[in-house]
Structure 1
Amino acid sequence: MIIGIGNDLCNIERIQRSLDRFGERFEARVFTPYEIAKARGRRRVAETYAKRFAAKEACAKALGTGVPRAGVHWKHLGVVNLPSGKPGFELTGGAAARLARITPLGYRAMLHLTLTDDHPWAEASVIIEAVPLGAP
């Protein structure tokens, strides 16, 4: 069953302006060390950050909270890449607690994330699915 859906559109040029103006302060406030390393290792840094920023916003919407609100902060919504390269989440702190609260008893949550960009836009969609315990 679907327990949350979120979508967000982020302007890549806005992220570039934040990087130009605030640099490492912006990175450290919003992104996890993993996300920072991933972005700095790419040729198109602002695009990478914009997709992850959109993912964080979309996930917060799917959780029903927004950011920063209800104990959910930017760095609690870590965007990671699975070994296959597929994007996913590593939720911590208030985001993990919120996910636990909205997941029905007898179920486990699965987060699905898709990212795309087409300059000057980056977009992310998130679906939170509750799967019965013991299901594959």
Structure 2
Amino acid sequence: MILGIGTDLANIDRIQATLNRFGDRFRNRVFSRTELAKAARRRDEAGTLAKRWAAKEACSKALGTGLAMGISWRDMAVSNLPTGQPVMHLTGWAADRLAQMTPPGHLAIVHVTLTDDHPWAQAFVVIEARPAAAPPA
């Protein structure tokens, strides 16, 4: 069953302007070490971070909170599987909120997809609850 859906559209030029203005203060307030390392390896750091910004916004919407109720930017982080598929990791208040949303006997799965076409970066997040596998007899 679907527990939540969120989407966000971020302007890459706006993220670049914020990086230019606030530099590491912005980077360290919003992004995890993994996200920053990925962006540092990319030619388009701002585009990489804009997609992750959009993913955090989309995830907060899927959690039903927006960026309110105590959620922190760094409670949500995007990494990539070896195949390149993005994966959302939740910690802190975001993980607590996800646990509250998840019906008993179910496992929550957070799906995320990212795309960009300069000057836009977009993310979709779907939170799914799947029945937990019954323990073997």
2:75 maps to 76
Q: CA deviation at 1:130?
A: 0.3
1:45 maps to 45
Unaligned runs of 5+ in 1: none
In the TM superposition, structure 1's runs of 4+ consecutive aligned residues that sit over 4 Å from their partners are: none
1:30 aligns with 2:37: no
Q: CA deviation at 1:13?
A: 0.4
Q: CA deviation at 1:82?
A: 1.5
Judge which range, 22-31 or 83-92, deviates more: 83-92
Q: Residue type matched to 1:5 in 2? A: I
Unaligned runs of 5+ in 2: none
1:121 maps to 120
Residue pairs, 1:52-131, within 5 angstroms: 52-67=52-67, 69-131=68-130
Q: CA deviation at 1:72?
A: 1.0
> How far apart, in 1, do the equivalents of 2:104 and 2:56 lie?
25
1:134 aligns with 2:96: no
Q: Residue type matched to 2:74 in 1? A: K
Residue pairs, 1:9-24, within 5 angstroms: 9-24=9-24
How does the TM-score come out when normalised to structure 1?
A: 0.96
Identical aligned residues as a percent: 60
